[in-house]
Amino acid sequence: MSDVIDAPLEVRLERQFLDDFLGSSPDHDIWRHHYNHGRYDEFRGRTLQANKEQQIYVDPGFSGTGDTPLGLNPFDIRDGVLGITGRRARSDAMPYLDGFAYTSGLLSSQNTFEQTYGYFEARIKVPVGQGLWSAFWLKTHHAHTPKGLPAWPPEIDVMEFIGTRTDRYYTTAHWDVMPDNKKSGSAVLNVNPGADFNAYGVLWTPDQTVFYFNRQPVKTIETKPNHNVPMFMVLNLALGGKWPGNVSDSALPARLEVDWVAAYEISPNQKVRQ
């Protein structure tokens, strides 16, 4: 991949981040495997309860309610492609998973890479099936929000894919603060995300937020209020929830594949061409 992008994007961009997964496992100096708003072993940092997700995000060192690591590993790397696998939990691990029957994986660059504005992109192949919820998104750290306000939103969902809606994926921007948070979302139609790898990107500037599919713009919105703070990247495969419905065991194991993740900053004095 080039360090600089000129086209087909409308600004000159310089790469600040790249992980193309050439090691044997995700780089622990880059990625966290949980939402970093509690201790490492807290369940609330390993699922989104408000979404009614059915999985717990795990990694080999996670011990659940036990005293020793459970050795649950949803990650693998094959020929430079990261896999995140969602599956029914191992029977011997179930007593330590606080009632969760499914495990999956999450990558977060919180505290290791955060950036305000720029182009963020990942080349991904999503799994298809009932209850599968794949996502690539940006979120801010609580340290960057005004004192006394929650750390969500802002959020930019570059790609969300519901495993039974095979002809589309979704882009969304969330802003304002709870309980009056607002969102602007849309479906990108007439695509087939589950058929192959595709590059999902967002060009985020002070004025515009432009979503890209394979480097082609598919949606443009005005950049939302409070979307002016650093955000980190998240990749995850959720199982079940109030949006996709209950996960089906027939869809498992399900493997989200990631070829690479990159982030670019806008070169000085470069502006989106109108």
Closest CA to 136 of 151, 125, 128, 149: 125
Residue 5 neighbours by CB distance under 10 Å: 21
Q: State which amino acid sits at residue 15.
A: R
In the set 114, 121, 155, 257, the catalytic residue is 155
Q: Rounded CA gap, 11 and 269, in Å?
A: 10
Q: State which amino acid sits at residue 239.
A: L
Token digits of residue 180: 């009056």
Q: Which residue has the tokens 């369940």?
A: 43
Q: Please answer whether residues 189 and 168 qualify as being in contact, where contact means their C-beta atoms are separated by less than 8 angstroms.
A: yes
In the set 53, 121, 160, 257, the catalytic residue is 160
Cβ burial 17-27 (10 Å sphere, 16+ → b, else e):
bebebeeeebe
Q: Is 160 a catalytic residue?
A: yes
Q: State which amino acid sits at residue 9.
A: L
Closest CA to 156 of 199, 209, 214, 193: 209
Q: Is 14 a catalytic residue?
A: no
Q: Which residues are catalytic?
A: 155, 160
